[in-house]
Each structure stands twice: as structure tokens, then as C-alpha cells.
Amino acid sequence: MRQSKSLGSLATWPSRSRSNNSRSNLADVSEAGQAWPTSADDYELLDECGKGVSAEVYRARCFTNGRIVGIKALNLEWLATPLDEVMHEAQLMKAYKHDAILPLYCSFVTGQELWMVMPYMEGGSVAHILRYKYPEGLSEVVIATIMRKVLEALAYVHKQGDIHRDVKAGNVLVDGEGNVKLGDFGVAATPEREADWRGPKTRNTFVGTPCWMAPEVLEQVSGYGTSADIWSFGITILEMAHGHAPFSKLPPMKVLLMTLQGPPPQLEASCGSRHFSRGMREVVARCLNKDPKKRPTAKELLEHKFFKQAKDAECLKRTLLADLPPLPQRCNEIRAGKAATMARENERASLASHISYVTDVAHGKTPLEINFLSARRSSRRRQSGALAASFPSSRSSSSSSSSSSSS
């Protein structure tokens, strides 16, 4: 039986030596007054709905109330953030009260995992929907409808003095009725929580996903504030328009250099058979200004004419979610196909590049020196691959021979 402890209140945590022979009586209470148990024994994991380097997401059932929920299980051994900071993040999520933000029912540690219990979002993430059904991207009206809700969520978060720091289609979730919610505040930050802030409402920690990260976040020179989320918001619009984020096929270090040294990506008037309005292109251009002081706020963007065309949740249910199979089935289909194999390869390459980056920074290397080393490593990998291809294994050779003889 797994040992569990709640993140709801430090004072109510059971000690690590507490007996596990009975279920925990600890419970977190949601805004609606619903009590949620904080023991893994009170939940049944039904289906896996997503998997990353350090976390897995499940569809689950709560035994005490019969509700279907989503559980995000984070492997604490893979998290670089100390547990007390993770506690702070959990409390931050529980404090948010907005219909466009995914609520956190409760959270607790069980074994080497942090379980975060949330509503089950049947539609899954917009990134998952793009990958499964819309690889070329979404229509302008659908994008406006989704991103207006994301913008409402950001306006609320920023008003609280917080920063999300990982805005992307993978963290924009849709339920079965077409309601959109911004989730995954696992790296959300408050300006007051650390001593390494440089100036009011800024932060200088390297957290987020490289393709969506603002230049000032990558530079880590003068810190960053809520405008970093606005850059990521603009990149997410491009992601939904094209089916993928700019530079998404490049290794993280190359993304870093392209973001810092190149011009900001922009939205073209047309993409295939789809046309994007001047208003939509203007929103992207304003969000992707390299000077964070010149980017609009989330509240200002809500007044832009592009978002006036946004529809309601019913529209997304009829369009975006139409004919989609259940989320667990989609996950299994993607996992069984070539796309899943490529995802695992990209994941390994991304992790290797990040480890190399951290190592190089720790040794005091400059970005240009890191770029040189990254290019040299890539060249060595290509040479190694070419060498392996020129000397096939004995197994493949014998298989080829037997195939030839049988023919």
C-alpha cells in the first residue's frame, strides 16, 4: 500500500513513519464544498491519457464520491524543484478561482510521485487534438475561440501578480462540452517567492519549453515578468495556425540561438487553403515583439478586434471535437503509430541537449561557445550514424541473405 501525504496543509502532513495499514483520513475541500481524499488508495487508475519525461496523466475514479477525475502523477526524482516549492505551486493552483483555469482538487505525495487530482478533460490538450486530427492547423475562428479563453485566464493570473511560464497548446485543455481551460501551473511563479528576482515583478530562472520561451527568459540577464507569457501566447497562436510551433523540429540549443539572434517568427496571410486576417497577424506581431516593454498586456489584448469573432463552447464541441474518439483511445492509436516512435526519439534528443546545455553553462561557457559545441556533437552523431549504416549487423546481413535465397 502506498504511503501518502497531503500538500493541502503542512501542519496536517503525516510523518514518513506513519503506519500504512489504513486509508488516510486527510481530505482537501474544493470551492463547491466537495471533500477530496488524499490517499492513493481512494482512487482507481482507469486509463493512461498522456506521458512525458517526468509525469503521466491518468483517467481515474474516486472511490469516495464516484467522480471521474484526471490525475497527473509527477515523478519527484525527475523534478529539479525542491518539494517545498512544489507545495507552494499546489497551493497557488488551489487558490485560483476562474472558469478558464483548470482547478486543482487536491494533491499529495505517494511513494516517489506527486499526485495532482483535477477535473478530467475529455477532449485532452489542443496539442494532442492537433496531432491526432489537425496536423496542418486550425481555422481562425476556432483559434480565436480557444485563445480568448486562454487570454482571460492569463489576465486573471497576471492580476494576481503571478506568471504562468509555460503557455502552449499542450497546456490548453478542452472538456467534452468544448469548455477551454489553461492548466499545468507546475512551473507557475510568484515574484515574491524567491530571492533571485531582479527588480519588481521579474524573475530570472530558466523554466519552460524552449520553442515557446521569450528572448528575455532565454537570456537570463535582466529577469522577466508577465510579458514573457504574452510572447508564449503569440507562439501558441502560431502553433495552432500551423499545427506545430516555430523551430519545433530543431534541437533546443538551436531554438535558443534562433530566438535570440534571429527575427521573431510571424504569421503569413495564408497557410495552405486557409487565410488569416490582418487582425490575427497583428496580434501575433504585437505579442512577438522582442522588447518585452512593447508587448501588450493580456487585458489590452482582450480588447483587440481579432477576439471579437470568438464563439462559445458549443461551437468547439461541434467543430474541434467532432468525431474524435475517446482520449485514451487516441493516445493508444498515436502510441502505436510512427508518430509515437518519433516523439520518443525527439524526447530523448531534447533531454540530451538540455543536459549538455546545463553542463556547458555550469562550466561558464558563453552562448557562442555552447553553439559550437552543440554543432560539433551533432556532427559526431551524424558521422556515427553514417558509420553504423555502412556496417550492417550480422543479423541484418544474414536476414538479407536468407531473404535473397528464398526469393
**What's this model's pTM, rounded to 2 decimal places?**
0.73
Among 74, 98, 119, residue at a domain's last position: 119
d(CA 212, CA 245): 8
Same structural domain, 172 and 228: yes
Same structural domain, 45 and 166: no
Among 86, 119, 152, residue at a domain's last position: 119
The terminus-to-terminus CA distance of the chain in angstroms comes to 57
Q: Could you tell me which residues are beta bridge partners of residue 275?
A: 270
Per the CB < 8 A criterion, the answer to whether 394 and 400 are in contact is no
Helix axes 227-242, 278-287, angle to 10 degrees: 140
Specify the pLDDT at position 8. 43
Specify the pLDDT at position 217. 86
Expressed as residue numbers, the domain containing 110 is: 29-119
Same structural domain, 115 and 131: no
Per the CB < 8 A criterion, the answer to whether 327 and 274 are in contact is no
For residue 140, the domain's CATH number is: 1.10.510.10
For residue 72, the domain's CATH number is: 3.30.200.20
Q: Is residue 392 part of a domain?
A: no
Q: ∠ CA(244), CA(249), CA(250), 5° rounding?
A: 135
Specify the pLDDT at position 380. 54
Distances (CA, A) of 303 to 24, 151, 297, 313: 48, 11, 10, 20
The distance from CA 15 to its chain's CA centroid, rounded to whole angstroms, is 32
**Cell numbers at residue 102, please?**
483548470
The length of the chain, given as a count of residues: 407
Q: Is residue 270 part of a domain?
A: yes
Q: Is residue 398 part of a domain?
A: no
**Cell numbers at residue 219, please?**
537570456
Same structural domain, 218 and 270: yes
Same structural domain, 104 and 134: no
List per-block mean pLDDT (blocks of 10 residues) for the chain, which spans 407 residues: 44 30 44 79 94 86 96 83 74 88 92 92 95 94 98 96 90 96 66 33 51 85 88 95 88 83 89 90 96 96 97 96 93 72 47 48 47 50 49 41 41
Among 299, 325, 351, residue at a domain's last position: 325
Q: Is residue 18 part of a domain?
A: no
Q: Is residue 365 part of a domain?
A: no
Same structural domain, 210 and 236: yes
Same structural domain, 254 and 312: yes
Q: Is residue 158 part of a domain?
A: yes
Which class for 171: exposed (0-12), middle (13-18), buried (19 or more C-beta within 10 A)? buried
Q: List the 124-125 sheet strands across, edge first.
A: 124-125, 172-174, 180-182
Same structural domain, 156 and 194: yes
Q: Is residue 162 part of a domain?
A: yes
Q: Is residue 64 part of a domain?
A: yes
Same structural domain, 135 and 179: yes
Task: Report the domain count for the chain.
Answer: 2
Same structural domain, 107 and 245: no
Same structural domain, 129 and 115: no
Annotated active-site residue in 42, 166, 184, 229:
166
Among 176, 188, 310, 299, CA closest to 237: 310
Residues 6+ apart with CB under 8 A from 70: 49, 57, 58, 59, 60, 117, 118, 119, 120, 121
Q: ∠ CA(229), CA(154), CA(343), 5° rounding?
A: 55
Same structural domain, 128 and 101: no
Judge whether 47 counts as a catalytic residue. Answer: no
Specify the pLDDT at position 377. 54
Distances (CA, A) of 394 to 82, 240, 386, 399: 48, 46, 17, 8
Cα dihedral 250, 254, 260, 262 in deg (nearest 10): -70
Per the CB < 8 A criterion, the answer to whether 165 and 228 are in contact is yes
